[in-house]
Amino acid sequence: MCAGPGTSRGGNHVHLTEQNRKVLVKLCVACRIEFSYKKGTKSPFGGTIRALLQAEIDKDLKNPHRTIRHLVNKRRAVVAVQKKESGTVQTDTELDQNLDLWIERENELLCEQEDAKKPKEVSQREAASAKILSCVLCILCI
């Protein structure tokens, strides 16, 4: 039995080259506004990325989010090690830069989730504090 383009003999695994991964992450970053962590609703994001990736590289990646999750976890580990090192030049590839943008989006969503969990009065207090701080900064700038 012959496997189709980009699939293994079992048909369950799609091998992505480094260039394929770049394309996948670029597509995710380009469509990141559609991505969300809302539970109970199936996001069209995975399907959108799957279709775009298939059109771009002719490989049918069944679960693009799992692949992105793996790449993000690897990137986070590398960044954690780099933060501990000092005096060494850190070179970021295009893939790394795009993964960093994706991680920013994930972090934004996690903050939004945390804010949504806070009681209303805590959110109101934080908003009032931010407004006061903003006014103080305006006064200092005058």
Mean pLDDT of the residues in the chain = 80
Find out whether 21 and 71 touch, Cβ atoms under 8 Å. yes
pTM recorded for the entire structure: 0.68
Find out whether 11 and 3 touch, Cβ atoms under 8 Å. yes
Domain ranges of the chain: 18-117
Tell me the pLDDT tens digit for each residue of 43-94: 688 889 999 999 999 999 988 889 999 999 999 999 898 888 877 777 789 9
